[in-house]
Chains A and B, each alone.
Chain A
Amino acid sequence: RKEVEQDPGPFNVPEGATVAFNCTYSNSASQSFFWYRQDCRKEPKLLMSVYSSGNEDGRFTAQLNRASQYISLLIRDSKLSDSATYLCVVTHNQAGTALIFGKGTTLSVSS
C-alpha cells in the first residue's frame, strides 16, 4: 500500500462547480498535513496546511480525520485558474523534514 494515496482523476468540472478531493495515508504516526498545488511542468506551491479542526481559506476547505487517516480538500465556486494538480503531503517527523507526497489529483475547470 502506498504511503499517500490519491485519486489521480482527472476531475473535469465546469466553472462554478464544487469539487472534493480525498487522500488517505498509511502511517498513523504522520504529524503534519498539507495540500500543495502543482501547475503543469512547474514547481509545487503550498496551498494550505490541514489542521485537525479543519480549516478554510476562501473557497478552499481542508479537513483531517486522524482516526480514518483521511484528508480532504473542497473547492467551491471553481475558477478556470484552479486547473492544476493537487498534491496531498504528509510528514512523519516532528521536524517535518520527511515529506511524503501523493501522486496528485488533476483538476480541469472549463468554461
Chain B
Amino acid sequence: GAVVSQHPSWVICKSGTSVKIECRSLDFQATTMFWYRQFPKQSLMLMATSNEGSKATYEQGVEKDKFLINHASLTLSTLTVTSAHPEDSSFYICSARRPGGSRELFFGEGSRLTVL
C-alpha cells in the first residue's frame, strides 16, 4: 500500500489564485520531506527540502515566497503555490524516507497542477 500520500491528485485553477498541496507519510514519522517538480518529458527536479519544525531549504532558482512550504507535524508537509501562473503548471511530487537510514525514497502519487 501507499507509504506517502498526496492530495489533491489533480487541480485546475485560475491564474492568480493559490493552491495548497498536502503530503502525508502514512505509517512513519518523517522529519524531512522533499518536494519535486516534473515538467513534461523532463526529469524530476528537487525544489525544496521540508524540515519539521524549521524552515524549508530551497534549491537554487526556486522562489521561497512563491512556493511556501510548511512542515507542521511529523507526518504532514504542505506546499502552497502562491499567485499561480500558467508557467507553474506541472507535476508536483513529494517524497520521504523511512527513519533508520534507508536510502529508498517513497514518493507520493503526485499532484498535477494546471493553471489557466
A interface, CB within 8 angstroms of B: 4, 8, 32, 34, 41-46, 49, 87, 91, 96-99, 101-104
Contact = CB atoms under 8 A, between A and B. Distances in A.
B54 interface: no
Given A34-B103, A99-B46, 19 more contacts: A4-B43, A43-B107, A43-B108, A43-B110, A44-B44, A44-B105, A44-B107, A49-B104, A87-B44, A91-B103, A96-B103, A97-B32, A97-B34, A97-B49, A98-B46, A99-B34, A101-B43, A101-B45, A102-B43
B4 to A, nearest CB: 8
Interface residues of B, number: 19
Nearest to A91: B103
Nearest to B41: A103
Contacts of A45: 107
Contact of A46 (B34, B105, B108, B109): B105
A103 B103 contact: no
Contacts of B42: 103
B46 A87 contact: no
Given A98-B46, A103-B43, A42 B105 contact: no
A49 B110 contact: no
Nearest to A96: B103
Contacts of A8: 41
